[in-house]
């Protein structure tokens, strides 16, 4: 007789730990397999359970313990989960082992955290399953049934209960303070036996918690609205559904769900899922997939010869269908794919509702196709610049904008200045925001253009000369001041770095008259340009810069004779910084030159700088209203533009999520963490894409160099 999954897990646990029954055990997990271990093993001292989202509750007579309680008991912890999920859970509690010495195992008795590193799920059999095989299975059966949620439709939140978390946030905004909606909604559904409809769940909520019928009606309608906003199709599965119809198969949709058939039809029709022969929903038939009773009805109605069921759940879609003589084909849900993928550790870091929505959006984008991770055998493959921008940079830039808007509102900014090239992408992201309380102006600027135009005295000339330059004295003269060395200049080919400060000063001052005359011309042209762009304004202004020491802000303030507040991604102010703008600059990620700075922006800001361009070379100066640009060795803008499109696409998608509930909290650190996964082996980026990222710094004499090296 073949063992089912619960029997297998219980037996494995008994064999692994049978000689250790004098120890205290805590089981991590609240599924059927945990229940099986508790009921089917003998002689063990189970002192509690663990689960990140149910601390303080009770299941099977045991409390779900907090970490503090676990540390007081000092038990052996056993993770009851599939092999592909164990690393995700272990990452959440690894500190209990590393910092406090607790022993952590999986249900087979394998110690966690010892000799294991990197991604280990590449041998998972699911990565061998192909779309071609599923199509073949559809063609060779006359009756095809599809599970609905997580198979042909999904939600773009991390887990279904996040819908309740969103509703709780909305209700708080509406004045239902401390409504505990998520807990009430979950407990009411759990307390009902059989297969309740949504209205029955809400009726039970009213009975248990004393909520009026009118309030319940409002809350239930809100749940429908949120579901409508987050439900999306798994497009590949919709195509396979239509494939079955094209082969004239009898097609049924089967779901264990509290939505009625009519309600489900609304969601299905929205994405072109129609033309099926039947829709069977557990709450209408009072029968379910898990015990096979709904499959019995399906077989009676379909009256075919060979049946195939397609779904994601190992028990209710696979085992149960086969027990009723129905062939079954498993496609992982998007969440389970992510949980088994090289990105699995991100799940242990998503705690707040905002973080779960951010990650849920990425899971949808990367895994709505159930075969999307197969080519890399679970390693997320980044095959296009747009995908790179969406998955790894979208949240970083979007959360910066959210932070920026809050900070500017606090100080009452009326006009935001966006100098090129760093301001280009920010302008595009603000365009998506819609109605704003301030205006923003994108204009041409560069360190070279603003600093040379601001030169009026010998002191100004020397101020620029003292900044390090990687090149010759003649190149310094040209790139910093716009002056070409004279023909007989013997020092023009001397390396600037090899000269003393006094020698560099003497060299540039030998061209003092030419520098001052040229600076005057550049200043007149540039000020005329700034005036034409509307920078002479009585409005309260602020300026944006990406990762900088404040050069552009400092010299623009001198040119226009005013002071601004600066809002930066990050600052790079060294101890000997001369601009003295510290109190006038607020940065989202701090000073990346600070000792011990550990955020990912600090580690990879040169890579990020390559994203902040507008397709034009660096501005040299303005002449008669026209831009004169530096010569550019390479142009990678087509690739960068695709990255920017991915970032903007992410922003549009997450905007829809963010509009669902108020009070979106600051998630800059989580976005920074996700960005770091681009470089830590969590994904595989095509080498062709990596070659498109290089940087230069003409102002400091640095020629083009790659920023993404292995």
Q: Provide DSSP, 364-398.
A: HHHHSSTTTTTTTTTSEEE-SHHHHIIIIIHHHHH
The reply to whether 5-106 and 128-337 are identical in fold is: yes
Give me the pLDDT at residue 196, please. Answer: 94
Selected from 3.40.50.1000, 3.30.70.270, 2.60.40.10, 2.60.40.1930, the CATH number assigned to the domain covering 128-337 reads: 3.40.50.1000
pLDDT tens by residue, 146-203: 999 999 999 999 999 999 999 999 999 999 988 899 999 999 999 998 999 999 999 9
For residues 282 and 497, give the distance between their C-alpha atoms in angstroms, rounded to a whole number.
77
Residue 540 in tokens: 């309260």
Residue 94 banded pLDDT, cuts 50, 70, 90: confident
Q: How far apart are the first and last CA of the chain?
A: 53
pLDDT tens digits, one per residue of 122-145: 999 999 999 999 999 999 999 999
Output the CA torsion sign for 674, 678, 679, 682: positive
Q: What is the mean pLDDT of the chain?
A: 90
> Is the distance from CB of 231 to CB of 155 less than 8 angstroms?
yes
Q: Record the tokens describing residue 192, joined without a space.
A: 């009902």
Of the pLDDT bands very low, low, confident and very high (cuts 50, 70, 90), residue 697 is confident
Dihedral of CA 664/669/675/677: which sign? negative
Q: Which residues of 70-92 are buried (b: 16+ CB within 10 A; e: fewer)?
A: beeeebbbbbbbbebbbbbbbbb
Q: What is the pLDDT of residue 583?
A: 79
**Strand pairing category for 153-155 and 231-233:** antiparallel
Question: CA nearest 103: which of 119, 115, 90, 116?
Answer: 90
**CA–CA dist 63, 49 (Å, integer):** 6
- Residue 358 CA, distance from chain mean position: 5
Burial state string for 158-187 with b = 16 or more CB within 10 A and e = fewer than 16: bbeebbbbbbbbbbbeeebeebebbebbbe
Q: Given a cut of 70, is residue 577 above it in pLDDT? A: no
**Rounded Cα–Cα distance for residues 518 and 382 (Å):** 48
Round to whole Å and give the CA distance between 554 and 454: 10
pLDDT over 80 (residue 433) = yes
Q: Quote the pLDDT of residue 85.
A: 72
Q: What φ, ψ does residue 271 adopt, rounded to 5°?
A: -115, 25
Confidence of residue 597 (pLDDT cuts 50, 70, 90): low
The encoded tokens of residue 664 equal 């979106």
Residues 693 and 679: their CA atoms lie apart, in Å, by 14
Of the ranges 76-90, 564-578, 633-647, which one carries the lowest mean pLDDT score?
Answer: 564-578
Would you say residue 633 has pLDDT above 70? no
- Is 139 buried (19+), middle (13-18) or exposed (0-12) by CB count in 10 A? middle
pLDDT per position as a tens digit, 453-466 = 999 999 999 988 88
Helical ranges in 78-233 per DSSP H: 86-98, 131-139, 161-173, 181-191, 198-209, 213-230
Q: Summarize pLDDT for 308-329 with one digit per residue, the tens.
A: 999 999 889 999 999 999 999 9
Identify the weakest region by mean pLDDT among 286-300, 312-326, 496-510, 583-597.
583-597
User: Which of 149-158, 456-465, 632-641, 689-698 is modeled with the greatest confidence?
Assistant: 149-158
Give 375 or 703, the one with higher predicted confidence.
375
Q: What is the predicted pLDDT for the residue at 575?
A: 46
**pLDDT tens for residues 103-116?**
999 998 988 876 55
Domain boundaries of the chain, sorted by first residue: 5-106, 128-337, 450-521
pLDDT of residue 23: 92
Examine the pLDDT at 706 and tell me if it is beyond 90.
Answer: no
Q: How many CB atoms lie within 10 A of CB 511?
A: 18
| Rounded-to-integer distance, Cα 467 and Cα 700, Å | 8
Give me the mean pLDDT over the 255-273 stretch.
93
Query: In terms of CATH, what superfamily is 5-106?
Result: NAD(P)-binding Rossmann-like Domain (3.40.50.720)
**pLDDT more than 90, % of the chain:** 64
């Amino acid at each position: 007789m073949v063992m089912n999954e619960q029997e297998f897990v219980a037996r494995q646990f008994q064999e692994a730990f049978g000689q250790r029954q004098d120890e205290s055990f805590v089981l991590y997990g609240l599924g059927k397999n945990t229940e099986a271990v508790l009921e089917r093993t003998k002689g063990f001292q189970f002192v509690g359970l663990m689960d990140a989202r149910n601390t303080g509750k009770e299941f099977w007579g045991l409390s779900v313990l907090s970490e503090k309680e676990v540390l007081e008991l000092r038990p052996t912890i056993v993770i009851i989960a599939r092999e592909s999920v164990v690393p995700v859970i272990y990452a959440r509690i690894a500190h209990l082992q590393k910092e406090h010495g607790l022993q952590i195992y999986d249900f087979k008795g394998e110690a966690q955290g010892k000799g294991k590193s990197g991604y280990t799920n590449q041998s998972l059999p699911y990565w061998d399953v192909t779309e071609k095989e599923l199509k073949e299975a559809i063609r060779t059966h006359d009756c095809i049934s599809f599970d609905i949620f997580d198979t042909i439709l999904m939600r773009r939140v991390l887990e279904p209960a996040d819908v309740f978390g969103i509703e709780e946030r909305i209700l708080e905004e509406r004045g239902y303070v401390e409504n505990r909606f998520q807990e009430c909604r979950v407990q009411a559904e759990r307390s009902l036996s059989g297969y309740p409809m949504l209205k029955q769940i809400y009726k039970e909520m009213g009975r248990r918690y004393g909520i009026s019928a009118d309030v319940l009606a409002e809350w239930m309608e809100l749940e429908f609205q949120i579901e409508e906003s987050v439900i999306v199709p798994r497009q590949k599965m919709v195509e396979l559904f239509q494939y079955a119809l094209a082969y004239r198969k009898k097609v049924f949709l089967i779901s264990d769900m509290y939505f009625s058939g009519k309600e489900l039809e609304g969601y299905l029709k929205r994405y072109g899922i129609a033309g099926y022969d039947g829709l069977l929903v557990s709450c209408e038939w009072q029968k379910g997939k898990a015990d096979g009773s709904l499959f019995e009805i399906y077989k009676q109605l379909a009256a075919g010869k060979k049946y195939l069921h397609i779904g994601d759940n190992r028990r209710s879609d696979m085992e149960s269908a086969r027990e009723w003589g129905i062939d079954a084909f498993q496609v992982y849900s998007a969440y389970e794919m992510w949980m088994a993928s090289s990105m699995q550790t991100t799940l242990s870091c998503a705690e707040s509702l905002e973080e779960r929505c951010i990650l849920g959006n990425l899971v949808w984008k990367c895994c709505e196709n159930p075969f999307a991770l197969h080519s890399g055998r679970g390693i997320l493959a980044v095959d296009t610049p747009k995908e790179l921008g969406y998955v790894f940079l979208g949240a970083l830039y979007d959360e910066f904008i959210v932070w920026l808007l809050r900070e500017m509102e606090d100080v009452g900014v009326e006009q935001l200045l966006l100098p090129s090239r760093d301001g280009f992408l920010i302008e595009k992201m603000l365009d998506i925001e819609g109605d704003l309380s301030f205006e923003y102006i994108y204009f041409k600027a560069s360190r070279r253009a603003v600093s040379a135009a601001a030169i009026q005295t010998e002191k100004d000339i020397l101020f620029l000369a003292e900044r390090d330059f990687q090149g010759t004295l003649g190149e310094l003269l040209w790139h910093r001041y716009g002056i070409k060395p004279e023909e007989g200049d013997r020092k023009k080919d001397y390396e600037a770095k090899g000269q003393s400060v006094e020698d560099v000063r003497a060299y540039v001052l030998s061209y003092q008259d030419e520098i001052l005359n040229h600076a005057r011309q550049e200043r007149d042209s540039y000020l005329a340009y700034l005036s034409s762009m509307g920078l002479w304004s009585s409005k309260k202004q602020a300026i944006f810069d990406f990762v900088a020491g404040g050069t552009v802000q400092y010299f623009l303030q001198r040119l226009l004779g005013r002071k601004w507040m600066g809002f930066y991604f990050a600052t790079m102010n060294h101890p000997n910084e001369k601009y003295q703008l510290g109190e006038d600059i607020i940065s989202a990620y701090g000073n990346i030159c600070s000792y011990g700075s550990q955020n990912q922006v600090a580690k990879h800001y040169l890579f990020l700088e390559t994203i902040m361009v507008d397709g034009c070379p660096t501005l040299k100066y303005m002449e008669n209203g026209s831009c004169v640009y530096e010569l550019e060795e390479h142009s990678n803008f087509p690739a960068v533009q695709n990255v920017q499109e991915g970032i903007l696409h992410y922003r549009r998608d997450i905007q829809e999520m963010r509009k669902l509930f108020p009070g979106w909290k600051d998630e800059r650190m989580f976005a920074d963490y996700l960005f770091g996964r681009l470089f830590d082996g969590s994904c595989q980026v095509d080498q062709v894409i990596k070659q498109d990222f290089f940087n230069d710094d003409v102002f400091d004499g640095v020629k083009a160099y790659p920023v993404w090296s292995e």
